[in-house]
Amino acid sequence: QKEVEQDPGPLSVPEGAIVSLNCTYSNSAFQYFMWYRQYSRKGPELLMYTYSSGNKEDGRFTAQVDKSSKYISLFIRDSQPSDSATYLCAMSVRVSGGYQKVTFGIGTKLQVIP
Amino acid sequence: GAGVSQSPSNKVTEKGKDVELRCDPISGHTALYWYRQSLGQGLEFLIYFQGNSAPDKSGLPSDRFSAERTGGSVSTLTIQRTQQEDSAVYLCASSLELAGTLDTQYFGPGTRLTVL
């Protein structure tokens, strides 16, 4: 079993829909919970992150972390065709080498249809 | 400012040949990471550099894979005697190694390696 599980999709939604992306994880030591967005043939870029449990909102995007259930979510409101990309969840823990080691989900491919 | 750059963007090689992939991190970033991204596997960690040393090489899949970093800047990932299963996108990232907050990793565009 992988440390981070994510449905690869693909997920296809009409423009304006609310999108829900989710990941589960098994390592209770994870501290930071991130969402990266990756456009085709590009590297991932950090979209938003939360520390520990709770919600964080940034414009049309909301990230939620439930550490008791080991479950994280990303909601996209009023989805746009420009949101079409692969969304990777990621989680980090500080390891013995002193750095924040990041474990990524497989990524969910999202397509927003105009 | 300039982001992380990688070269070449695409590399096609024959099975058994050696390849070198290059990463130029963001200036001033002390940490550098290599990942491999393949279909069905997601982003797999390969190696972490702190300056020129590599305290975590735990993700290198075999002794055919090696990496070095010089001058606290440029890094090269070398794959010897390439195999078809090495075909993937190799991504490099760098970070400032911040403490007490998220140490954001900034990714390059990747090198797409195809082994025939």
In this structure, what CATH number is given to the domain that contains residue B15? 2.60.40.10
Do the domain assignments include residue B12?
yes
Whether the pLDDT of residue A98 is over 80: the answer is no
Do the domain assignments include residue A114?
no
Show which residues on chain A lie within 8 Å of chain B, measured between beta carbons. 6, 8, 32, 34, 41-46, 49, 51, 88, 92, 95, 97, 99-107
Do the domain assignments include residue B113?
no
- Cα dihedral across residues A113, A7, B89, B24: positive or negative: positive
Tokens coding B46: 């390969």
Mutate to test the interface with A, among B29, B37, B106 (most CBs of A within 10 A): B37
Question: Which residues lie below 8 Å from residue B114, measured CB to CB, with a gap of 6+?
Answer: B10, B11, B12, B13, B87
Distances (CA, A) of A20 to A15, B35, B55, B68, B86: 14, 27, 37, 40, 33
pLDDT digits (tens, 9 = 90+) for A52-76: 888 999 999 999 999 999 999 999 9
Cβ pair A45:B31 closer than 8 A: no
Mean pLDDT of A32-54: 94
Nearest-neighbour CA in chain A from B90: distance (Å): 10
Q: Which domain holds residue A63?
A: 4-109
Count helices and strands in chain B by DSSP H and E runs: 0, 11
CA-nearest of A13, A56, A9 to A35 is: A56
Predicted confidence at residue B43, as pLDDT, reads 94
Do the domain assignments include residue A80?
yes
Q: Which domain holds residue B71?
A: 5-108
Domain count, chain A: 1
Using a CB-CB distance cutoff of 8 angstroms, which residues of chain A are in contact with residue B43? 44, 88, 104, 107
Mean pLDDT of B1-18: 94
Nearest CB to A43; choose among B45, B97, B109: B109
